[in-house]
Amino acid sequence: MYFLPEELDNYVVAHSEDEPELLRQLTRETYQKILQPIMLSGPYQGRVLSMISKLTRPKNILELGTFTGYATLCLAEGVQKDGEVHTIDVNEELLDFQRKYFDKSEYGHQIFQHLGAATDIIPTLNKTFDLVFIDADKPNYVNYFHLIIDKLNPGGIIISDNVLWHGKVVEPLDPKDVSTKIVLEYNTLLKKDPRIETVLLPIRDGLTISRKR
Ligand SMILES: C[S@@+](CC[C@H](N)C(=O)[O-])C[C@H]1O[C@@H](n2cnc3c(N)ncnc32)[C@H](O)[C@@H]1O
């Protein structure tokens, strides 16, 4: 889905930073070997994540939904030298693939993989975070916010992916469509919660940046 006319969208991408070669390789192998490669953040959104991370220079980063590690590596580009990147995914089969690419990068020793449902893992993380990327299952987005907000440092950022949910947020709601219902609830929560300030950016499938006051 393009929010801009395709020609303009191509222009935007062409005049943004190119993705690093390692991420190109990761993308190629994801498309060769892994189901649903479309879940990758991709080159443009990846550069946006990298830029936000470099601008905010987080000490600790948390990602919900690692998949093959594309966004993990983009976020890691801005982490402080003594910082940590924690990333959670429920799919055990992805662990070796992720680790191979993490260790090919300069951030391998700073990236910690967690296997399991994010709702189970988050409460076990005895840390606070400066940057959180929410990109796992949509029905848990509201739960994720409530689990994370007290672990987010003042001035910390939550980036939430897929908040426009392929445009379904402005279509009539099918009562059986739990994901869209929760994404709608989530977007309202981000707008109204007084602990954060939020801007929703029409990047790819919708990317919200929320900053803790
Ligand atoms: C859209 S993909 C993440 C893409 C990745 N962040 C990127 O940008 O390349 C969503 C991931 O969330 C994981 N996931 C789904 N439900 C989950 C849950 N309850 N807890 C943790 N991870 C989950 C899936 O296994 C999948 O790998």
Beta strands in the chain (DSSP E): 60-64, 84-89, 111-115, 129-134, 152-161, 196-201, 207-212
CATH code of the domain containing 121: 3.40.50.150
What was the pLDDT predicted at 2? 65
Q: For residue 75, is it within any domain?
A: yes
Q: For residue 131, is it within any domain?
A: yes
What was the pLDDT predicted at 9? 87
- Hey, what amino acid is at 92? E
Ligand 1 residue neighbourhood (C-beta within 6 Å): 39-41, 65, 67, 70-71, 88-91, 117-118, 135-137, 140
Q: For residue 181, is it within any domain?
A: no
Mutate to test the pocket of ligand 1, among 35, 38, 62, 67 (most ligand atoms within 8 A of CB): 67
What does the pLDDT profile of the chain (213 residues) look like in tens digits?
A: 667 888 998 999 999 999 999 999 999 999 999 999 999 999 999 999 999 999 999 999 999 999 999 999 999 999 999 999 999 999 999 999 999 999 999 999 999 999 999 999 999 999 999 999 999 999 999 999 999 999 999 999 999 999 999 999 999 999 999 999 999 999 999 999 999 999 999 999 999 999 999
* Index of the ligand 1 atom closest to the CA of residue 89: 22
Q: Is the pTM of this model over 0.85?
A: yes
Q: For residue 161, is it within any domain?
A: no
Burial track 48-84 (b if 16+ CB lie within 10 A, e otherwise)? bbbebbeebebbbbbbbbbbbbbbbbbbbbbbeeebb
How much distance in Å is there from the Cα of 137 to the middle of ligand 1?
6
Q: For residue 194, is it within any domain?
A: no
As a whole number of angstroms, the distance between CA 18 and CA 47 comes to: 8
As a whole number of angstroms, the distance between CA 160 and CA 140 comes to: 12
In three-state secondary structure terms, 156 is: strand
Q: For residue 80, is it within any domain?
A: yes
As a whole number of angstroms, the distance between CA 49 and CA 45 comes to: 6
Beta strands in 29-83 (DSSP E): 60-64
Q: How far is CA 155 from CA 17, 22, 119, in A?
A: 26, 31, 23
Q: How many domains does the chain have?
A: 1
Enclosing domain of residue 112: 6-156
Q: For residue 206, is it within any domain?
A: no
Q: For residue 94, is it within any domain?
A: yes
How much distance in Å is there from the Cα of 194 to the middle of ligand 1?
28
Mutate to test the pocket of ligand 1, among 33, 66, 166 (most ligand atoms within 8 A of CB): 66
* Index of the ligand 1 atom closest to the CA of residue 91: 25
Other Cβ atoms within 10 Å of 132 Cβ, number: 27
